[in-house]
Amino acid sequence: MKHLLILGGGTAGTMVANRVLHRLRVERDFWRVTVVDRDDRHLYQPGLLTVPFGAATPEQLVRSRRRYLEPGVELVLGEVEGVDTARGRVHLEDGRVLPYDYLVVASGTSPRPDQTPGMAGDQWRRRVHEFYTPDGAVALHRRLERWLGGRIVVHVTEMPIKCPVAPLEFTFLLDDALRRRGLRAGTELTYVTPLDGAFTRPVARDRLGGMLEARGVQVRTDFLVDRVDDRRLVSVDDREVPFDLLVTVPVNLGADFVARSGLGDELQDVPVDPGTLMSRAHPGVFAVGDATDVPTSKAGSVAHFEADVFADNLVSYDRGRPMTRLYDGHANCFVESGRGRALLLDFGYDAEPLPGRYPLPVIGPLSLLAETRANHWAKAATQRLYWNVLLHGRPVPIPSRAPRREPAATGAAV
Ligand SMILES: Cc1cc2nc3c(=O)[nH]c(=O)nc-3n(C[C@H](O)[C@H](O)[C@H](O)COP(=O)(O)OP(=O)(O)OC[C@H]3O[C@@H](n4cnc5c(N)ncnc54)[C@H](O)[C@@H]3O)c2cc1C
């Protein structure tokens, strides 16, 4: 019996495990499918955006991983220590060894403030905050509740990060919250990014940049941070941005075991073929979700579209046939813009996010690149869809291929 081992039981690992199981049942081919994760707490990460504004608590965003894995998928709880690709084995920290025939790395990325000098110093969670972790989002909520005015800087340290629109959404929601509390006039709001604009893709960059400008948010671009120095961000070319409160997205790194096992690049992402998602260096080893280096967003929607093609390809690969269903970088991201509205971006490796209509059963079609209430409600409904439909790997009637539009002007990851 073949053994598929999946490292990480988050969004991508869960979807892939369930999807593969369904696919193998159809083939009447019965494999062992195992997921490894360090705990049984599946976090709905998009919900973290709402925690600093008091709209949710982390506990409301967590459910049992086991509950979302189809019967037949085994869940092993343990910390992955390393992968021995030569022998086809995974070593856990507690000494257990798990052999595999095929391996999927789905261990995601994590914010790493320790990678930037001064960031995780004595001001961490006092003046320097983040919202990409449950503890960070709660600490930021407490800080914002006590906010009376001054300089707030929202900052992206380095790309790629997971959900690259999340810091923009945070800025729009913060602007909205401060206005409602009568604190906006007394708050200088600055958005600092290493990119040359608010976003990477030209049309979306201009649209989102215009929205920051309209809200009176100053934008500092091409800012490659060197260090956090007391109450200032300092760039490698010695520019400074002072703050009273810094809300940063630290460098996002893949899991440390990826680096230890010689599977990763400098960001500890696994270099894969962007179509088949198979490791460039290790045949039979795949990566999905945030753990890959593919030039599209690190987003839950990407994990969903990848899982869609992965199961078919795995079966083909196992039977010695060519992998013909290629992932095309399809991603869609809702961008909360405050005042009960949101935008929708839809793009792929070769498809720009452009205005238009996005087909969605029941509540759609939705407007692309336009701020609408329907987009806001669709984003709000996504959490229920996530737990009840998407994680189970059930097919949903939305296009899995990226739209056919103009080729992207840049191959940069978003
Ligand atoms: C604030 C925020 C807002 C977001 N908003 C959106 C959004 O609106 N739309 C969207 O599509 N996406 C959004 N995302 C991104 C989305 O949550 C991620 O892209 C998605 O979770 C990636 O799934 P993944 O399975 O690759 O990684 P994860 O879901 O992070 O799962 C990785 C798993 O691997 C496990 N793991 C890692 N290392 C080890 C180890 N050594 N041993 C054992 N287990 C290990 C972890 O415990 C984890 O469970 C957002 C993310 C954040 C932080």
CA of 162 to the centre of ligand 1 (A): 8
What is the distance between the alpha carbons of residues 61 and 305, in angstroms, rounded to a whole number? 22
| Mutate-to-test residue for ligand 1 from 256, 290, 304, 337, highest number of ligand atoms within 8 A of CB | 290
For ligand 1, is residue 343 a contact (CB within 6 Å)?
no
Residue type, 100: Y
- Residues with Cβ within 8 Å of 334's Cβ and at least 6 positions away in sequence, in order, are 342, 343, 344, 345, 375, 376, 378, 379, 382
Tens of pLDDT along the chain (414 residues) come to 899 999 999 999 999 999 999 998 888 778 999 999 999 999 999 999 999 999 999 999 999 999 999 999 999 999 999 999 999 999 999 999 999 999 999 999 999 999 999 999 999 999 999 999 999 999 999 999 999 999 999 999 999 999 999 999 999 999 999 999 999 999 999 999 999 999 888 889 999 999 999 999 999 999 999 999 989 999 999 999 999 999 999 999 999 999 999 999 999 999 999 999 999 999 999 999 999 999 999 999 999 999 989 999 999 999 999 999 999 999 999 999 999 999 999 999 998 887 788 777 666 688 888 999 999 999 999 999 999 999 998 877 777 788 765 444 333 444
CA of 386 to the centre of ligand 1 (A): 13
Beta bridge partners of 227: 234
What is the distance between the alpha carbons of residues 341 and 335, in angstroms, rounded to a whole number? 9
For ligand 1, is residue 111 a contact (CB within 6 Å)?
no
- Residues with Cβ within 8 Å of 164's Cβ and at least 6 positions away in sequence, in order, are 156, 199, 200, 297, 298, 333, 414
Helix (H) or strand (E) run with residue 248 in it? strand 245-249
CA of 280 to the centre of ligand 1 (A): 23
What is the distance between the alpha carbons of residues 200 and 107, in angstroms, rounded to a whole number? 25
CA of 174 to the centre of ligand 1 (A): 23
The length of the chain, given as a count of residues? 414
pLDDT at 383: 95
> In whole angstroms, how large is the CA radius of gyration of the chain?
21
pTM (two decimals): 0.95
Question: Which residue matches tokens 């997921």?
Answer: 35
To 5 degrees, how large is the angle CA 252–CA 256–CA 258? 100
- Neighbouring CB atoms inside 10 A of 376's CB total 20
Beta bridge partners of 167: none
Query: Between 300-318 and 11-27, two packed helices, what is the crossing angle to 10 degrees?
Result: 40
For ligand 1, is residue 108 a contact (CB within 6 Å)?
yes
For ligand 1, is residue 11 a contact (CB within 6 Å)?
yes
- Residues with Cβ within 8 Å of 242's Cβ and at least 6 positions away in sequence, in order, are 151, 231, 232
CA of 132 to the centre of ligand 1 (A): 10
What's the distance, Cα to Cα, between the start and end of the chain in Å?
39
For residues 328 and 348, is the Cβ–Cβ distance under 8 A?
A: yes
Closest CA to 324 of 275, 368, 280, 254: 275
What is the distance between the alpha carbons of residues 172 and 109, in angstroms, rounded to a whole number? 25
What is the distance between the alpha carbons of residues 336 and 118, in angstroms, rounded to a whole number? 31
> Ligand 1: which atom is nearest the Cα of residue 108?
27
For ligand 1, is residue 107 a contact (CB within 6 Å)?
yes
For residues 287 and 103, is the Cβ–Cβ distance under 8 A?
A: no
> Ligand 1: which atom is nearest the Cα of residue 166?
3
For ligand 1, is residue 153 a contact (CB within 6 Å)?
no
What is the distance between the alpha carbons of residues 402 and 348, in angstroms, rounded to a whole number? 5
For ligand 1, is residue 9 a contact (CB within 6 Å)?
yes
